[in-house]
Amino acid sequence: MSRTASKNRAAVLGSPIAHSLSPVLHRAAYAELGLTDWSYDRFEVDEEALPGFVEQLGPEWAGLSLTMPLKRAVIPLLDEITETATSVEAVNTLVFTEDGRRVGDNTDIPGMVAALRERGIEQVESAAILGAGATASSALAALARICTGEVVAYVRSEARAAEMRQWGERLDVEVRTADWAEAERGLRAPLVVATTPAGATDVLSGAVPERPTTLFDVLYHPWPTELAARWSAYGGAVVSGLDLLVHQAVLQVEQMTGCKTAPVAAMRTAGERALAERG
């Protein structure tokens, strides 16, 4: 089932990395797929150490998952980068080909699309993004695939607003920016994507409409957020950060192992169990 008998190692790199759920998800996939000789580890690696780490890897390495702060730092080390990763200047997946080439991809974007599709969201007329930054740009790239109209980004500064408008132009998405103080209005959009750090959207939980639509909250621990809990209580659909984590990992497993279909259910169950153990 694997790409090659000689390639059976993978890992996630980043700093900090101890909290990463990637080993749990990937190992669950290997177990379900019968890849008993495969291993997946985590390594604390920062931007300065990344080139040396990659250079010393042997032929047994199939791929790497990359988290902050390495998603852009890895780009100069690549032989090839996919159009998806290029679109947001961020690589979260490095695959080592049979001939030794390093190919960079971004599975966060199609992972977001897949997580929404799993909940029946194939297309929306408009959307709201809460926050700005790296995750928000990935959200915009995902919305470029499913949103037919305007995306309103609620941000805290004009500098962030300018960045989001620039990303919109680059990704061919109609982006309008608004001040964070007006974020309550965004909760009435057909799709709301919250990309902010933990606690940032708590203040909005009291403004959830009586008939909420769909909320995609990229956080997964602690879960649920106050906003997600209120959204669910009012009957709205909620897509979580764990859903995103699972679907982007599914694509990584498929690319690294060569297996055509990674076990979504087994990976999600393993992730939920790991989060429950963290309390």
Q: Which residues are catalytic?
A: 71
Q: What does the alpha-carbon distance between residue 199 and residue 190 come to, in Å, rounded to a whole number?
A: 23
Contact yes or no for 12/66 (Cβ under 8 A): yes
Dihedral (Cα; 67, 69, 71, 77), 10-degree rounding: -120
Q: Which two tokens stand for residue 90?
A: 């961020």
User: CA 166, CA 140: separation in Å to the nearest integer?
Assistant: 11
Q: From start to end of the chain, where are the E strands?
A: 9-14, 39-44, 61-66, 80-81, 93-96, 102-105, 127-130, 151-155, 175-179, 191-194, 214-217, 237-239
Residue 40: strand, helix, or coil: strand
Q: Rounded distance, CA 68 to CA 240, Å? A: 19
Q: CA nearest 143: which of 116, 162, 107, 166? A: 116
Distance CA 90, CA 81 (A): 10
Tokens of 121: 């969201």
